[in-house]
Chain A
C-alpha cells in the first residue's frame, strides 16, 4: 500500500508498504532516515521514539497505515523543529527536506563539539555534557527530552526521570544524560 504523511514538516510518500509494517521500518528502510533506531521492536527501549502529531511514541509500535495524513518529527528534523518553535514558522518554507534529512549528521566542522552544524539546544547540551557514548539511545532520548522541555521548561529531576523513563541507555548510567537535560533547561530559561 501507499502511505502519505508529513515527515519533518514536508509531505512524503512511501510506496510498496507492507500492511503489517511499522512506522519505524518505513522511516528507516523506505525513506532512508536511520535516525530512529531499532533495538527491541517491542516498546521497551524507546530508541525508536519520534513525535506523531506532536506526541512522543515508539515508532516500532505504530502501524505504517496509521500515520496516513499525519505529522511525524524524527531526530533528523529536530534542530529545525526546535528553531521553528523559537522563531515561529510563517513563511511556509519551514521543515526539513528528505534529502537534507538523509544527509543530516551532527558532524559540521567538528563532531566533538557540534560546531558548524545546526543543532537543537538539547542536542548541543548532550554533546556539551558528554551524554553520548555509543549513541544508540541518543536519538530517542533527544526527541523525548526535547518534547518534555517544550511542555515543561523548568523540570525537576523527578520530571526528567519520568519523561525519560521509557528510554533505555546501556552505556552512560544516565547521570550525564540528566546533566545534559538540566543544562538544556538552564540555557533555555536564560535565553528567555
Chain B
C-alpha cells in the first residue's frame, strides 16, 4: 500500500489521475473501518486532510458552498440557519467523535442508502462539484446516486464541494433507529418547504437502493397547497391532504427486509415521518407568516 499525501487540491487531482484506483480518505470513518476489518486493501490511500480548501465553507446569496471535508460538527455549529435540514441530519450521525471527523464528502463518496446527509441534500436541493484534471462539473444531487453504494463520480474525479440551496423556509429531518446515539438509520426522511417557489421537496433514506425523492408525493402536495391557497392563507393543512402525502411518500419507497427492519415497517415509518415532518414544518411556516404579518 502507498500513502499519498497531496499538499494541495491540484496535487490531489494529479495523484487521482495518475492512480485512478487510489481511495481518497477524508475523515476515514468509513474507509478505516473497511481497512481495519480487512474488507478493503487499496493499493493507494489518498489523504485529503492536508487540503485546507476542503474544510472551508462560503455562504453565498442563494447557496452555501460546503467544502467536501467540513466535519458534521462544524455544520451543526455554524450552518444551522442556512442549512437547517442538513444540520439536523448531521446531529443524528453517530457520536461526537465521528462527527468531528466525518463529513458530507465522505457520505457522498460512500453513497450508502443509509447516509444521513442524503435526504437533507435531496430536500434542500444541491449540486456536487466534482473535479478531475480534465475539468470541473456540477452534478445535480438527483443524478448523483446511481445504485447501491454507487455514485456518478468518474474514476479520476474528486468531490471538491457541495453547493446547497440556502433554506428559504422551514426544513426538517427525521430518522428511525433503536436509540438516539450511534445508530444507522432504519429509514430517514427529509422535508423542505420552499415558499419562494411555492414547492415542497423530500428525501428518503434507507428505504430504496439509493436515496430518493418522493416525486409523486411532492407533485400532489404542491398542487394541493396551490389549489387551497395555503401558501397565502397559512391555514392548517387538511388532514386528508397530509394523509395522502404520507401514503404517496410510503409508496415512493422500494425497501428491503434486513436486520434493521422489514420492508413493510420501513414503508410504514416513512409515511409517519412524512406526515410528522410536514406538520412540523408547516406549523413553523404558519408561525413565521403570522409573525411577519403582525410586524408589517
Interface residues, chain A, with chain B CB atoms under 8 Å away? 1, 18-20, 22, 41-44, 46, 49, 55-58, 60-63, 65-66, 68, 144, 162-163, 165-167
B contact residues around A22 at 8 Å (CB): 32, 36
Report Cα–Cα, A63/B36, bound state, in Å: 10
Secondary structure type dominating chain B contacts = loop
Apart from A18-B1, A65-B5, what 11 extra A-B contacts exist at CB < 8 Å?
A1-B3, A22-B32, A41-B33, A43-B29, A44-B182, A62-B28, A63-B35, A66-B47, A68-B5, A144-B96, A162-B96
B1 A19 Cβ-Cβ under 8 A: yes
A166 B94 Cβ-Cβ under 8 A: yes
A166 B3 Cβ-Cβ under 8 A: no
B45 within 8 A of A: yes
Mask, B74-114, CB within 8 Å of A = 1, is 00000000000000000000111110110000000000000
Interface residues, chain B, with chain A CB atoms under 8 Å away? 1-3, 5, 25, 27-29, 31-33, 35-37, 41-42, 45, 47, 49, 94-98, 100-101, 180-182
A contact residues around B3 at 8 Å (CB): 1, 19, 63, 65
24 A-B residue pairings within 8 Å (CB atoms): A1-B3, A19-B1, A19-B3, A19-B45, A20-B35, A20-B41, A20-B45, A41-B36, A42-B33, A42-B36, A43-B94, A57-B97, A58-B29, A58-B98, A60-B36, A62-B28, A63-B3, A63-B28, A65-B45, A66-B25, A66-B49, A165-B180, A165-B182, A166-B95
Query: What is the distance, in angstroms, from B45's C-beta to the closest C-beta of chain A?
Result: 6
B45 A165 Cβ-Cβ under 8 A: no
- How many residue pairs at the A-B interface have CB separations less than 8 Å? 87
A166 B98 Cβ-Cβ under 8 A: yes
B96 A60 Cβ-Cβ under 8 A: no
A61 B1 Cβ-Cβ under 8 A: no
Query: What is the distance, in angstroms, from B46's C-beta to the closest C-beta of chain A?
Result: 10
Closest to B100 in A: A55
B182 A57 Cβ-Cβ under 8 A: no
CB contact under 8 A between A41 and B181, given known A63-B3, A66-B49, A165-B95: no
B contact residues around A63 at 8 Å (CB): 3, 25, 28, 31-32, 35, 45, 47
Report Cα–Cα, A144/B97, bound state, in Å: 9
